[in-house]
């Protein structure tokens, strides 16, 4: 079997590594992949991007299955495009991808189907948005409607900040269209959890829970990033929380997908806020999380390819997803300066000798050397019987890795 895997992050390296474990898989083309996928068993990087070019590649190379990592190709309709040519692809269609691609669409969907979420208003007119904010409690959360590479959410601590955020989004248009419409939302206080799951549109099978660490500095300080580290399972996801999630979030979501006639055979990622007053849905993503994937897949005992094939055949109800009875911790090593500007092209050493698994993100292989190429460079994942063992192991393992300006948080998985 030949697979085309779209994307270039640590998430895609982890997906490639997991899929390669199935003996049916002969080859995984990673488009465009990274320095880690270049070295991974059965993998080959191919420099192609753009949905039309990917389609052409899939046709010319007799690809049996395409798996899409990031949200952009999904929101641009790659699944619809491949299906028109009768090619097998795993992911939601363009309409279902709007659950991530448009925050107002997803909030209206949550409200319509009774999914528990924060109170909100949607505005395309700045004066009306300002009027609404005048009557909101502070802090208030302002979100750009469209995709803004994780930068479109601002938690405003004063009315002045809220008004200047609306100016930035709606008048200065800092997100080039994505902030012309905004969602203004009630601030929820609590702890966050990520629950990735797989669906065939008939059932949703949740994966082990996980927890991201979004801010750049220890103690959750500083700017938001794509994610500086993850642990799984999430210690805050107790039986009680998971029950509330299933009843108040997962089940009504599935009902909505069915009633709206969405073609959703893919991953749904529920971004949760666990509050005193209950479990709330902050957002949907329609793909695996990064770096959540780097802890969820190493704990997965089930064959991921079999699950993907069952989802495409609408046969997930016959499957169970099994996870190791253990904990995982992934620490992201970033380039100095990230999430602001940073330099690239430094040699990375120690990845071959590190124990645990090293997932590459912003790296490239050049003349046999692994070089830094992005902000988040790589992630080191370790597994242990307990969270403490997993995190101690991951911290020990990352010590053997080096590149100029290496930076990582020292408190991933520290639960206070």
Q: In the complex, what is the shortest distance from the CB of residue 185 to ligand AMP, in angstroms, rounded to a whole number?
A: 5
As separate numbers, helices (DSSP H) first and strands (DSSP E) second, the chain gives 14, 22
Tokens 């080191």 appear where? 380
Q: Which residues, 6 or more positions from 49, have their beta carbon under 8 angstroms from its beta carbon?
A: 31, 32
Pick one of 282, 297, 305, 348: the residue that binds ligand AMP (CB under 6 A).
Answer: 282
Q: Which does 283 bind (CB under 5 to 8 A by kind): ligand GLY, ligand AMP, none?
A: ligand AMP
Q: In the complex, what is the shortest distance from the CB of residue 248 to ligand AMP, in angstroms, rounded to a whole number?
A: 16
Q: Token digits for 396?
A: 């020990």
Please identify, among the stretches 178-186, 285-293, 343-351, 361-369, the one whose residues bind ligand GLY according to the rule CB under 6 A: 285-293
- Burial of 343 per CB tally in 10 Å (0-12, 13-18, 19+): exposed
Q: Which does 285 bind (CB under 5 to 8 A by kind): ligand AMP, ligand GLY, none?
A: ligand GLY
Q: Which does 187 bind (CB under 5 to 8 A by kind): ligand AMP, ligand GLY, none?
A: ligand AMP
- Is position 187 an interface residue for ligand AMP (rule: CB under 6 A)? yes
Beta carbon nearer to ligand GLY, 93 or 290: 290
Please give the Cα distance from 221 to 362 (Å, whole number).
23
Q: Do 346 and 241 form a contact (C-beta atoms < 8 A)?
A: no
Pick one of 73, 179, 227, 375: the residue that binds ligand GLY (CB under 6 A).
Answer: 227
- Is position 289 an interface residue for ligand GLY (rule: CB under 6 A)? yes
Please give the Cα distance from 298 to 10 (Å, whole number).
13
Please identify, among the stretches 59-67, 284-292, 360-368, 408-416, the one whose residues bind ligand GLY according to the rule CB under 6 A: 284-292
- Is position 283 an interface residue for ligand AMP (rule: CB under 6 A)? yes
Q: Which residues, 6 or more positions from 124, have their beta carbon under 8 angstroms from its beta carbon?
A: 180, 181
- Rounded-to-10 torsion of CA 16, 19, 21, 26: -90
Q: In the complex, what is the shortest distance from the CB of residue 194 to ligand GLY, in angstroms, rounded to a whole number?
A: 7
Q: Token digits for 334?
A: 């970033």
What phi-psi label fits residue 33: left (phi over 0), alpha (psi between -120 and 50 degrees) or beta?
left
Beta carbon nearer to ligand AMP, 152 or 374: 152
Question: In the complex, which residues of this chain contact ligand AMP (CB under 6 A)?
Answer: 118, 141, 143, 153, 155, 185-188, 192, 271, 282-283
Question: In the complex, which residues of this chain contact ligand GLY (CB under 6 A)?
Answer: 212, 227, 285, 289-290, 292
């Amino acid at each position: 079997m030949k697979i085309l895997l779209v994307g270039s992050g640590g998430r895609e390296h982890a997906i490639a590594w997991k899929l390669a474990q199935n003996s049916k898989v002969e080859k995984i083309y990673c488009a465009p992949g990274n320095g880690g996928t270049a070295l991974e068993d059965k993998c080959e990087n191919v420099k192609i991007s753009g949905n039309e070019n990917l389609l052409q590649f899939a046709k010319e190379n007799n690809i049996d299955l395409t798996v899409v990592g990031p949200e952009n190709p999904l929101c641009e309709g790659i699944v619809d495009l491949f299906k028109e040519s009768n090619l097998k692809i795993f992911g939601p269609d363009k309409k279902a991808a709007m659950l991530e691609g448009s925050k107002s669409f997803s909030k209206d969907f949550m409200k319509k189907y009774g999914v528990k979420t924060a109170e909100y208003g949607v505005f395309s007119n700045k004066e009306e948005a300002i009027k609404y904010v005048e009557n909101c409690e502070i802090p208030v959360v302002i979100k750009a409607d469209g995709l803004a590479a994780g930068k479109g959410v601002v938690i405003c601590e004063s009315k002045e900040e809220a008004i200047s955020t609306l100016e930035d989004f709606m008048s200065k248009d800092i997100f080039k269209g994505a902030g012309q419409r905004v969602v203004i939302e009630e601030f929820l206080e609590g702890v966050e959890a990520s629950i990735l799951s797989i669906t065939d549109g008939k059932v949703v099978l949740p994966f082990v829970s996980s927890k991201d660490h979004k801010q750049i500095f220890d103690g959750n300080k500083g700017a938001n990033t794509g994610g500086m580290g993850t642990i799984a399972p999430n210690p805050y996801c107790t039986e009680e929380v998971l029950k509330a999630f299933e009843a108040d979030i997962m089940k009504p979501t599935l009902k909505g997908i069915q009633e709206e006639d969405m073609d959703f055979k893919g991953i749904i990622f529920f971004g949760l806020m666990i509050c005193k007053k209950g479990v709330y849905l902050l957002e949907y993503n329609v793909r695996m999380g990064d770096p959540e994937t780097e802890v969820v897949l190493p704990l997965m005992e089930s064959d991921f390819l079999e699950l993907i094939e069952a989802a495409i055949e609408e046969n997930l109800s016959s499957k169970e997803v099994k996870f190791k009875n253990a904990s995982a911790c992934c620490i992201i090593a970033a380039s100095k300066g990230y999430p602001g500007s940073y330099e690239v092209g430094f040699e990375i050493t120690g990845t071959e000798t590190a124990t645990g698994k090293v997932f590459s993100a912003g790296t490239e292989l050049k003349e046999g050397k692994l070089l830094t190429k992005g902000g988040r460079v790589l992630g080191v994942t370790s597994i242990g019987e307990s969270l403490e063992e997993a995190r101690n192991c991951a911290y020990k393992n990352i010590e053997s890795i080096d590149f100029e300006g290496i930076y990582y948080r020292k408190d991933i998985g520290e639960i206070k």
